[in-house]
Amino acid sequence: MTGREFFTARTVADALAGFRPTLRTPVEDVPLYEALHRVPAAPVPAPAALPGFARSTVDGFAVRAADTYGASDSLPSYVDLLGAVRMGAAPTVAVRPGGCVAMPTGGVLPAGADAVVMVEYTAETMPGTIEITRPVAPGGGLVRADEDVAAGAALVPAGLPLRAPDLGLLAAAGVTLVPVHARPRVAIVSTGDEVVPPTTRSLVPGQVRDATAPALAGMVADAGGQPILAGIVDDEPGALKDRLTEVLPGADLVVVSAGSSVGARDETAGAVAAVGEIWCHGLAIKPGKPTLLADCGGIPLVGLPGNPLSALVVFGQVGVPLVWRLAGCESPPPPPSTRARLARDLASAAGRLDVVQVRVRDGVAEPLFGPSALLSVLARADGYLLVPEPATGLDAGTEVEVVLYR
């Protein structure tokens, strides 16, 4: 390293497409109630068809559809009431031609029936006789035994985080253990002589509490990872290399919050180069250009700028997708977003991705600006918008997509 930042910046798109570690976390079985947002390692097949029996979707009467053809208010069809189906019990009566069986919603379709006519289109004109004023087609008012899921079909696919409805479907199929990728272990290393733990009660001039590490830990956890706070390393030569050597064996991803000065960033790059291979040193993104990506014996490493705002912005764009990918998810779930009109002109430089913090009020996105050392800009933001690499800015009034913070 020369002590000067004469590096060629890669675009964020290049980084996402090209820096793709092959490492995936091991597979483990987790109980269904702990599987939310976990990533299945393989499709989970249905042990049997769902719902497993033909069932009614309406209150009414199970019939042979042919017995209702031509029914109308002026010319009803009449069928004999043969019995009733009880919820949670198998039918004790079958439907024969010219007959019907009373059905609750969710009840098991009795033998001989191929449709359920809604109770709204019926009337009991005399004891034991049901009048039908609307025809029903075969299959009407019911679901087939395998209409929800066929036996052997995938209940959930591999590689997509499980959502609450997925857990419900798995439960309906009787799947109580799910094979998922383990949560990626993300070691977070802070550096800098000026950085002290957040528990430090009184600061001396020049000291700053480590605000980046707890925020990064939250982002890691939100992406399904397991944050490991690996402490603060001072700027002594060799100290960072020693710490990286310690944490790499127990991590799936290492994140280094580097110092803000050129010298500190050079020290980070030198330490990383000593334990791995640097893929890029510099991203065409604002804020966050001095980002470093490296492969350390198969373990990816992300070196972030020292300023908290820059570090968190870059980690959201590059680090969070890495956490998901390590857990077997190639396409991270999209964050919530909204459309809004830009409140003012935004200048940008072509070839650079600008990440602009915004506040959204009444459909208007107001950009928030401030030095990259100020976390309050992020704390006040409702989300951010992206000014893409080819653009030289956005005009006031432009409709933009705002990615919202959860």
Asked if 174 and 186 sit in the same domain, the reply is no
Q: Is 2 among the domain residues? A: no
Bridge partners for 130 per DSSP: 79, 124
Domain with residue 356: its CATH number is: 2.40.340.10
CA distance 273 to 368: 36
What is the average pLDDT score of the chain? 93
DSSP 326-374: HTT-SSPPPPPEEEEEESS-EE--TT-EEEEEEEEETTEEEE----TT-
Asked if 165 and 44 sit in the same domain, the reply is yes
Domain with residue 40: its CATH number is: 3.90.105.10
Asked if 320 and 377 sit in the same domain, the reply is no
Domain with residue 322: its CATH number is: 3.40.980.10
pLDDT, position 8: 63
pLDDT digits (tens, 9 = 90+) for 160-196: 999 999 999 999 999 999 999 999 999 999 998 899 9
Tell whether the model's pLDDT for residue 298 goes beyond 90: yes
Asked if 163 and 214 sit in the same domain, the reply is no
Examine the fold and report which residue of 143, 172, 195 is the final residue of a domain before the chain moves on: 143
Examine the fold and report which residue of 270, 298, 326 is the final residue of a domain before the chain moves on: 326
Residue 326: partners with Cβ closer than 8 Å, 6 or more residues away:
21, 23, 24, 25, 181, 184, 225, 252, 253, 300
Task: Compute how many other C-beta atoms are within 10 angstroms of the C-beta atom of residue 125.
Answer: 11
CA distance 66 to 300: 66
CB 257 within 8 A of CB 267: no
- Stated as kind and residue range, the H or E segment containing 179 is strand 177-181
Q: Is 360 among the domain residues? A: yes
Asked if 38 and 104 sit in the same domain, the reply is no
Q: Is 238 among the domain residues? A: yes
Asked if 377 and 242 sit in the same domain, the reply is no
Asked if 190 and 276 sit in the same domain, the reply is yes
pLDDT digits (tens, 9 = 90+) for 231-240: 999 988 899 9
The tally of domains found in the chain comes to 4
Q: Is 343 among the domain residues? A: yes
Mean pLDDT of 64-77: 96
Residue 38: partners with Cβ closer than 8 Å, 6 or more residues away:
30, 161, 162, 178, 180, 181, 183, 224, 327
Q: Is 260 among the domain residues? A: yes
- Reported residue count of the chain is 406
Asked if 89 and 159 sit in the same domain, the reply is no
- Stated as kind and residue range, the H or E segment containing 233 is strand 226-233
Mean pLDDT of 293-316: 93
pTM, rounded to two decimals:
0.86
Buried b (16+ CB within 10 A) or exposed e, 100-120: bbbbbeebbbbebbbbbbbbe
Band of the pLDDT at 258, cuts 50, 70, 90? confident
Asked if 96 and 127 sit in the same domain, the reply is yes
Task: Compute how many other C-beta atoms are within 10 angstroms of the C-beta atom of residue 58.
Answer: 18
CA distance 216 to 229: 10
Examine the fold and report which residue of 275, 296, 326 is the final residue of a domain before the chain moves on: 326
pLDDT digits (tens, 9 = 90+) for 99-119: 999 999 999 999 999 999 999
CA distance 250 to 201: 31
DSSP letter at 169 equals H
Q: Is 331 among the domain residues? A: no
Asked if 186 and 286 sit in the same domain, the reply is yes
Asked if 341 and 197 sit in the same domain, the reply is no
pLDDT, position 265: 62
pLDDT, position 3: 40
Q: Is 139 among the domain residues? A: yes
Q: Is 32 among the domain residues? A: yes
The residue whose two tokens read 């009373």 is 102
CA distance 247 to 284: 29
Buried b (16+ CB within 10 A) or exposed e, 333-342: eeeeeeebeb
Tell whether the model's pLDDT for residue 337 goes beyond 80: yes
Domain with residue 114: its CATH number is: 2.170.190.11
Domain that holds residue 263: 12-26+182-326
Which 3-state string (H, E, C) describes 239-262?
HHHHHHHHHHHHCCEEEEECCCCH
Check residue 275 and give left, alpha or beta (phi > 0: left; psi -120 to 50: alpha). Answer: alpha
Asked if 200 and 255 sit in the same domain, the reply is yes
Tell whether the model's pLDDT for residue 135 goes beyond 50: yes
CA distance 402 to 339: 6
Tell whether the model's pLDDT for residue 27 goes beyond 60: yes
